[in-house]
Amino acid sequence: MNPNYDAPSSPLIEIKDLRFGYADRLILDGINLSIPRGKVTAIMGASGGGKTTILRLIGGQYKAQSGSILFDGQDVGALKADELMQLRRRMGMLFQFGALFTDLSVFDNVAFPLREITHLSEPLIKDIVLMKLDAVGLRGARDLMPSEVSGGMARRVALARAIALDPELVMYDEPFAGLDPISLGTAARLIRRLNDAIGLTSIVVSHDLDETFQIADQVIILANGGVAAQGTPEQVIRSNDPLVHQFVSANPDGPVKFHYPAQTFAKDLDLPSPELASKEGAI
């Protein structure tokens, strides 16, 4: 992480007064945040808090119910289908667990977006794919099938595919999930190194505090439909907000409750009220 982090005046992404929910359940309620260019921004928070939803909104898979998402000044939600497709070429996405095409080799997985979107010749595609695989340390695995590589290697292949078109933004959805400590550390360092070497802007959705805080320039913690904290990892760790403190300390007790809101257990079981039961001698 850059200890002298200072957000540029012109962020790549601005989210303004964003509201979004599923059916009657509001997930994001008036969110305001910005993603600085050339930095690694981590979006964290309890499960179900809207982290992955924000990635889908940035990519135009979902549309906000109100508010706006600006990518380099363009309102993502207002774009026509062809305009959105053009914008998506400037984005790369690493899905949970890689999401490789199981019937394609490592090479063909990375070549897929190049063949689908560009009109490049096969010799040029070969050169690009080998460069991307070399960047993630897997040039020698180009002829293997996804079933023949480990989980950590599959994640790196997916990263090579995500950067195949040289995007400005790469979004990582739980890139460390299910990885052993060695693979996890390798993936984290690779995200940081590629971000700086290629000049990317990176958004990392993760629950892994240690590795994410080591590579992030900015940390955003979502809670209760809003932004509970936003700043450098050091600023977030020092936060006095009870919810943020509970999250970064992994405390079981705090504002985030173990039990989902529900009526009393007695009412769920159709038991008589204590007052009535005591009168009837049932207690």
Sheet with 169-173: strands ordered across: 91-94, 169-173, 201-205, 40-45, 218-223, 226-231
d(CA 283, CA 281) in angstroms, rounded, equals 6
The answer as to whether 156 is a domain residue is: no
The answer as to whether 122 is a domain residue is: no
The answer as to whether 98 is a domain residue is: no
List the single range of 68-77, 158-167, 203-212, 262-271 with lowest mean pLDDT.
262-271
Q: What is the 3-state secondary structure (H, E, C) of 127-157?
A: HHHHHHHHHCCCHHHCCCCHHHCCHHHHHHH
The answer as to whether 155 is a domain residue is: no
Q: Which CATH number goes with the domain that contains 239?
A: 3.40.50.300
The answer as to whether 117 is a domain residue is: no
pLDDT band at residue 5 under the 50/70/90 scheme: very low
pLDDT band at residue 273 under the 50/70/90 scheme: low
Lookup: tokens for 79: 């774009």
The answer as to whether 273 is a domain residue is: yes
Percent of the chain with pLDDT over 70: 88
pLDDT in tens, 132-183: 999 888 999 999 999 999 888 898 899 999 999 999 999 999 888 878 888 8
- Which of 221, 204, 171 lies closest to 45 in space, CA to CA? 221
User: What domain range is 226 assigned to?
Assistant: 13-90+167-279
The answer as to whether 252 is a domain residue is: yes
Could you tell me the pTM of the whole model? 0.81
The answer as to whether 198 is a domain residue is: yes
d(CA 44, CA 36) in angstroms, rounded, equals 17
Total structural domains in the chain? 1
CA 145 from chain centre, in angstroms, equals 26
